[in-house]
């Protein structure tokens, strides 16, 4: 089965499993797991921040970071299609007591001036804005990469307003490879980042929240409160360290394979290859003879798994476990179905 539903479905490579089996461990809640400590320091250094915090998931990482920036009863601004308000089951409100307000879903095409106009200061009966969040790359926008110039303008907006700026960097590694922007350059723009190890990098579990030392100390308390304190977590952290060492540069292969998919399916009017910058291919089936559920069902019967994001919206994601032969087969299957 060729699984193009997500880059979260990858299996640990033999080298990664070996690293996990040989990991030196301790009790991380006591701060005594040397492999976790090394991972946190390594990721923080990559982004030019003082400290990091290893957490079980990207959703937990986002919510911990946001809670360090936004007190209960205050407001976070973000994209209407942002992961933090679309795929985290209302955690900001339910767990953090945080109000959210969104700008229209524009993917990477953010207008910093429009965001600046949304910021609310503290005042009579108002919910004050305390932070802005962006997603790099943007999942529901097809892996779109927010330009560095836009991020710099948003940093200026946040500074002028005296609010925080958070990056949901689940796939920031892809942006780094696609645009060549150094990770430390991205890191310098944000007060907090949550970066994922279990998507494109292929680790089985985990994300790292990075920020300054004071904020990470507060984040560690929030992690414990959320039940995210882990004990001998070095076994998992070792997978993340292996991924950082071996799987960043190879993301270019995933990008190239996604573009091959887009080029092959473009004649059916379902994708513009120019929009495919990283490893995500959105299929707009508005004018297709098949809807998303039909495409996914028939593709599954032929050995290809596809995500359904809406009645006429499908998604393909390339990753570590999909090679060129698998792409060739997927193209053959999908093209056959899209012909109607």
The reply to whether CATH 3.40.640.10 applies to domain 14-245 is yes
- The model's pTM is 0.96
For residues 43-64, give the mean pLDDT. Answer: 98
Read off the pLDDT of residues 207-247 as tens digits, 9 standing for 90 and up: 999 999 999 999 999 999 999 999 999 999 999 999 999 99
Does the pLDDT value for residue 85 go beyond 90?
A: yes
pLDDT of residue 168: 98
Percent of the chain having pLDDT more than 90? 98
Joined together, the tokens standing for residue 129 give 């804005």
- Alpha helices by DSSP H, 58-147: 58-69, 83-86, 91-94, 112-118
Read off the pLDDT of residues 277-302 as tens digits, 9 standing for 90 and up: 999 999 999 999 999 999 999 999 99
For residues 75-82, give the mean pLDDT. Answer: 97
For residues 172-198, give the mean pLDDT. Answer: 98
For residues 252-267, give the mean pLDDT. Answer: 98
For residues 161-185, give the mean pLDDT. Answer: 98
pLDDT of residue 124: 78
Domain boundaries of the chain, sorted by first residue: 14-245, 250-338
Does the pLDDT value for residue 340 go beyond 90?
A: no
CATH fold of 250-338: 3.90.1150
Residue 161 contacts by C-beta under 8 Å, 6 or more apart in sequence? Answer: 116, 119, 121, 129
* CB-CB contact of 204 with 12 (8 Å): yes
Written as one string, the DSSP assignment of 228-284 is ---SSTHHHHHHHHHHHHHSSTTHHHHHHHHHHHHHHHGGGTS--GGG--SSEEEEE
């Amino acid at each position: 089965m060729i699984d193009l539903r997500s880059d979260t479905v990858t299996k640990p490579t033999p080298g990664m499993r070996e690293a996990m089996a040989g990991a030196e461990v301790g009790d991380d809640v006591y701060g005594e797991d040397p492999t976790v400590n090394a991972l946190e320091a390594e990721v923080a250094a990559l982004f030019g921040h003082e400290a990091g915090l290893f957490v079980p998931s990207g959703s937990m990482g986002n919510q911990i970071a946001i809670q360090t920036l936004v007190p209960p009863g205050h407001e976070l601004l973000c994209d209407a299609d942002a992961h933090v308000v679309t795929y985290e089951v209302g955690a900001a409100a339910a767990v953090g007591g945080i109000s959210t307000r969104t700008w229209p879903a524009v993917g990477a095409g953010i207008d910093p001036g429009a965001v600046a106009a949304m910021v609310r200061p503290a005042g009579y009966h108002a919910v004050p804005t305390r932070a802005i969040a962006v997603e790099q790359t943007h999942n529901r926008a097809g892996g779109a990469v927010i330009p560095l110039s836009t991020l710099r303008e948003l940093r200026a907006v946040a500074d002028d307003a005296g609010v925080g700026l958070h990056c949901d960097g689940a796939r920031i590694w892809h942006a780094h490879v696609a645009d060549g922007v150094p990770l430390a350059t991205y890191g310098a723009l944000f007060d907090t980042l949550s970066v994922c190890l279990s998507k494109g990098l292929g680790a089985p579990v985990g994300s790292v929240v990075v920020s300054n030392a004071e904020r990470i100390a507060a984040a560690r308390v929030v992690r414990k409160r959320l039940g995210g304190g882990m004990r001998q977590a070095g076994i998992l952290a070792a997978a993340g360290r292996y991924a950082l060492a071996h799987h960043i540069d190879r993301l270019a292969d995933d990008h190239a394979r996604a573009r091959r998919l887009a080029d092959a399916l473009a004649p059916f009017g379902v994708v513009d290859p120019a929009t495919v910058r990283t490893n995500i291919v959105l299929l707009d089936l508005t004018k297709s003879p098949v809807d998303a559920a039909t495409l996914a069902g028939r593709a599954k019967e032929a050995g290809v798994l596809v995500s359904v994001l809406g009645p006429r919206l499908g998604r393909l994601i390339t990753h570590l476990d999909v090679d060129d032969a698998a792409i060739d087969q997927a193209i053959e299957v999908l093209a056959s179905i899209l012909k109607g």
